Structure 1
Amino acid sequence: MNDLVQRLSEREQQVVVGGPQATLPEFQKRVTEMGYVFIKFTETRGGTDLGVRVDKSATDVSKANFELGTGSVHVEGTLTLNYVRVRCVADIDLASLQGTGRLLVLEEVHP
């Protein structure tokens, strides 16, 4: 298995909201409307910013108050990283746009 995928799947890691605009309004729009978020794992060299297709059935925004910027969001979704299909699981605090996350390996994909 790929070294990066293995490291990100071994344990919970520090994450932040990533992407071109790491703001609360942009994060809300991506989670609730677009269905595609960026989660950045900060404990790798330079950070690893992953684009994640949101699984709406596994994502929980019930503890979030986007208007006040309080609470948290549990985000889950899938992507392919270095020929390995993975599920990204992250809990994001809305006040700081930081949290914890990890990858769950689903299957290796061969080019």
Structure 2
Amino acid sequence: MDELVERLCAEGKNVVVGGPSPSAAELHRRITEMGYVFITFSDSRGGTNLGVRVDESATDLRSADFANATGIVHVEGTLTLNYVKVRCVADIDLSSLSGTGRLRVLDEALAE
């Protein structure tokens, strides 16, 4: 498996909301209107910025208050990183736009 993908599959990696102007309002717009968010794995060498297609059925906004930038957003979505299909799973604290996340390999043959 790709070394970067393997490292980002480990539990509890630090993540931050990426993109041109990260804010709670922008994150809400990207999740609900665009269906595409930017997540940065900040612990990797220089940071790894990923564009994630949001899976609405797996994303949970119930404990988020976007207007007051409080609460936690659970975001899940898919992407291809270094030719490996993966699912990004992240829990983001709206007050800091940071949290923890990890990748999960979707192609079972590559996960071994």
Q: TM-score, normalised by structure 1?
A: 0.94
* C-alpha deviation, 1:29, in angstroms: 0.4
Amino acid at match of 1:25: A
* C-alpha deviation, 1:11, in angstroms: 2.1
Give runs of aligned pairs for residues 1-111 of structure 1, distance below 5 A: 1-107=1-107
Per-residue CA deviation, residues 54-86 of structure 1 (Å, 9 max, x unaligned), is 000000000000111110100000000000000
* C-alpha deviation, 1:20, in angstroms: 1.4
Over the residues paired in the alignment, what is the CA RMSD in angstroms? 1.2
Paired with 2:14 and 2:43, the residues of 1 have a C-alpha distance of 7
Paired with 1:10 and 1:33, the residues of 2 have a C-alpha distance of 30
Paired with 1:36 and 1:61, the residues of 2 have a C-alpha distance of 15
Q: Which ranges of structure 1 fall in alignment gaps of 5 or more residues?
A: none
Question: What is the DSSP-based 3-state SS (H/G/I as helix, E as strand, rest coil) of the residue aligned with 2:106?
Answer: strand
Paired with 1:16 and 1:44, the residues of 2 have a C-alpha distance of 12
Per-residue CA deviation, residues 2-33 of structure 1 (Å, 9 max, x unaligned), is 10000000222000001112122211100111
Count of matched residue positions in the alignment of Structure 1 and Structure 2: 109
Amino acid at match of 2:92: I
Question: What is the DSSP-based 3-state SS (H/G/I as helix, E as strand, rest coil) of the residue aligned with 2:7?
Answer: helix
Moved over 3 A (4+): none
Paired with 2:32 and 2:72, the residues of 1 have a C-alpha distance of 14
* C-alpha deviation, 1:41, in angstroms: 0.2
* C-alpha deviation, 1:47, in angstroms: 0.3
